[in-house]
Amino acid sequence: MSISNSSSPITNITHHQQRIDLAAAFQTAAKLNLHEAVANHFSLAVNEEGTEFLINPNQRHFSLIKSSDILLLDANDPTTMDRPDAPDPTAWGLHGGVHRHVPHARCIMHVHSPFATALACLEDSSLPPVDQNCAMFYQRYAIDTNYGGLALEAEGERCARLFSDPKVKVLIMGNHGLLVLGDSVADTFNRLYYFERAAMTYIHALQTGKKLRILSHAIAEKTSDEIDKYGGQADRHFDDLKILLDRDGSDYKN
């Protein structure tokens, strides 16, 4: 796949807008310190079945990824890792497994962000509804307590089975990090952003050593339902993030 050094966006490439959005998510994640070196991955399904997907190239820093760098893979292609531009094996194992078995996972973001990963390291990795952001995820996440090493194919297949409930959009990967699903890049990035903020608030509250004020089940469920129905925020948030990248002179569209 050719990579342009031009300052003008590339337009003669497949899934042009999806690539731009995904590249914007990579570069913004780097700006917000949601990434870890070259170890994390974002993917986006581009066919109806969800098995063809875009994903970041092997071990490239998020801040350097442009739209033309992004790979197009088929989750059902057993020769993928034989390609000269093969993806990171853990990206293929985790994202390939989820895209293969979870059709509603249109976009997948896997990170080792600081506060979500700290939460994943606790014996009790649950996120109680101690504020509005935490309530956003009330009964909408799963916790994986069976970490089995690097997310190669067998581990990816195992993680995919934890998303059988379409209501679950976040997997707290015990001893590992975070996996977030969404309907689009904007929807998924917004969910990733707010989960990291929620985890930060909870961990800061724990650090005080004082008793937590936890919302009741009724209020937490009401709040999460209200946020689910609060339309348009994810798109507006992500549109503004792209404006900020443009102001900074980012090359994410190239």
CA Rg, the chain, in Å? 18
Say what the pTM is.
0.93
User: What's the CA angle centered on 20, arms 167 and 51, to 5 degrees?
Assistant: 45
pLDDT in tens, 165-214: 999 999 999 999 999 999 999 999 999 999 999 999 999 999 999 999 99
Check residue 131 and give its pLDDT: 98
Q: List the chain residues with pLDDT less than 50.
A: 1-11
User: pLDDT at position 4, please?
Assistant: 38
What integer pLDDT is reported at residue 68 of this predicted model?
Answer: 97
Task: Give the up-direction half-sphere exposure of residue 222: CA atoms within 13 A in the CB hemisphere.
Answer: 5
Q: What pLDDT was estimated at residue 98? A: 96
Domains of the chain (ranges, CATH numbers):
16-247 (3.40.225.10)
At 216 the pLDDT is 98
Q: Residue 7 has what pLDDT? A: 43
Please report the pLDDT score of residue 231 as a whole number: 82
